[in-house]
Structure 1
Amino acid sequence: MTIRDRIEDYLKNHPEGINDDDLAFNLGLKSRQQANSRCRQLEKEGFVKRVVIGGIIHNFWSENFYPRTATEIQAKIVSTQTKTTKQPTDVPKSSHWFWEGNVQSKVINFLVSQKYQIRSVADTASHQTGIDIMAEKDGKKLWVSVKGYPQGTEKTNASTQSRHWFKQAIFDIIEYRERDKEAFLAVAFPDFPSYRNLAKKITWLKSAAKFVYIWVKEDGSVSVE
């Protein structure tokens, strides 16, 4: 059995996916490159999906990728964020449905259900820079900026802080459009009235920059406008 055959067999039987390093170790290969080169070739041929999760590429057998992978990706993100985020034990941010990490997970679930391939996911818990979600469908790129809703502080109430977060997300869209004139763009928010009202004030920009809003509700449902 060739290395390629062994990799195919392993991925078919491990729908949770695996990164190149662990794949090479589990198969007893001489180097990571042996796994990496063959997985990249399998991806070109359409047999394997390579998805960045927490900054590391994971390999999935294409036939296993939908829809189960949506749950797997969400679990990996939540696991990573839980390990890297230091929060008070009584009220952790991740317990709120509107926390950015939870909003991001719901959006990823939704995109996977729409047959998008998730190419990259930023670790929101560690404030990783870069595009929050990079996805692809039918050869078209989709870049998503994700924001949660603030809890507020003693000095700043949540509504005021949310306006700053909204502006940050919109600036992301402007920056993304400058970088790529053809990519599909979206900004994802938890569905709060303050965000809805702010969106209504810049309807002209939505058509000018060519982006959509992704709204995540408390019940986990997602809508696109």
Structure 2
Amino acid sequence: MLVSEQWHLEASVQNAFVSALVERGWRILSAKNTASREGGVDVIADLDGQKLGAEVKGYPTVGYADPRRAGEKKKANPREQAGNWYAKAILAAMKLRGAEPGWASIIVLPRIPRYVELYSQTKGSLDRAEIEVWWIERSGDLAGADASQVIKS
């Protein structure tokens, strides 16, 4: 469960997502180190031969996570930056859809009003592209109508 004020950071969202998959019997094939910003698909998992690839995003903060910049305020507005991060997640999911058409292509986000707003504006296009959006709640729970279809309880 995520209980800290930092529940929406990418590492926390990814950890909650991976935990939810494992609890449901998925085998994690890879999970990227969010701190190192390594490239590629953030999480790849397999359940009975069905694979999924997930692009995980956190929600931007006002300050920097880097201890060397503690106390500094970012120039970018978190709401605007969230739009950029959402767009990058869509691009990554589309690239995965093209590279691995047999996999489920998932975007995993913290359920925050700005992301919900962006999703509502793009849901139709994402549905047509067969890209799903799954949500991590403040509690750490995985939510989303699409999640129940792919993740077997």
Instruction: Specify the TM-score bucket, using the shorter chain as the normaliser.
Output: 0.7 to 0.9
Q: Distance in 1 between matches of 2:74 and 2:38?
A: 26
What residue number does 1:219 align with?
139
Shift of 1:149: 0.3
Secondary structure at the counterpart of residue 102 of structure 1: helix
Structure 1 counterpart of 2:18, from 101, 108, 115: 108
Q: Distance in 2 between matches of 1:174 and 1:210?
A: 9
Q: Distance in 1 between matches of 2:46 and 2:86?
A: 25
- Give the helix-richer structure, 1 or 2: 1
Shift of 1:154: 4.1
- Kindly indicate whether the alpha-carbon contact (under 8 Å) linking 2:94 and 2:131 is maintained by their aligned counterparts in 1: no
State the superposition RMSD in angstroms. Answer: 1.4
- Kindly indicate whether the alpha-carbon contact (under 8 Å) linking 1:173 and 1:209 is maintained by their aligned counterparts in 2: no
Q: Distance in 2 between matches of 1:100 and 1:154?
A: 17
What residue number does 1:124 align with?
34
Q: Distance in 2 between matches of 1:215 and 1:198?
A: 13
Q: Which amino acid aligns with 1:100?
A: E
- Kindly indicate whether the alpha-carbon contact (under 8 Å) linking 1:188 and 1:214 is maintained by their aligned counterparts in 2: yes
What residue number does 2:56 align with?
146
TM-score normalised by the chain length of structure 1: 0.56
Secondary structure at the counterpart of residue 140 of structure 2: coil
Q: Which amino acid aligns with 1:124?
A: T
Q: Distance in 2 between matches of 1:182 and 1:131?
A: 15
What is the aligned length?
132
Secondary structure at the counterpart of residue 201 of structure 1: helix
TM-score normalised by the chain length of structure 2: 0.82
Q: Within the alignment, does 1:196 sit opposite 2:106 as a pair?
A: no
Q: Which amino acid aligns with 2:126?
A: K
- Kindly indicate whether the alpha-carbon contact (under 8 Å) linking 1:117 and 1:136 is maintained by their aligned counterparts in 2: yes
Q: Which has the larger radius of gyration?
A: 1
Question: Runs of 5+ in structure 1 lacking a partner?
Answer: 1-93
- Kindly indicate whether the alpha-carbon contact (under 8 Å) linking 1:189 and 1:216 is maintained by their aligned counterparts in 2: yes
What residue number does 2:105 align with?
185
Structure 1 runs of 4+ off > 3 angstroms? none
Q: Which amino acid aligns with 2:52?
A: L
RCO higher in structure (CA 8 A, sep ≥6)? 2
- Superposed CA offset, 1:4-45 (max 9, x none): xxxxxxxxxxxxxxxxxxxxxxxxxxxxxxxxxxxxxxxxxx
Question: Runs of 5+ in structure 2 lacking a partner?
Answer: 63-72, 146-153
Secondary structure at the counterpart of residue 182 of structure 1: coil
Structure 1 counterpart of 2:86, from 163, 166, 169: 166
Change in CA separation of 1:181 and 1:110 when aligned onto 2, cut-off 3 Å: same
Shift of 1:211: 2.1
Shift of 1:105: 0.2
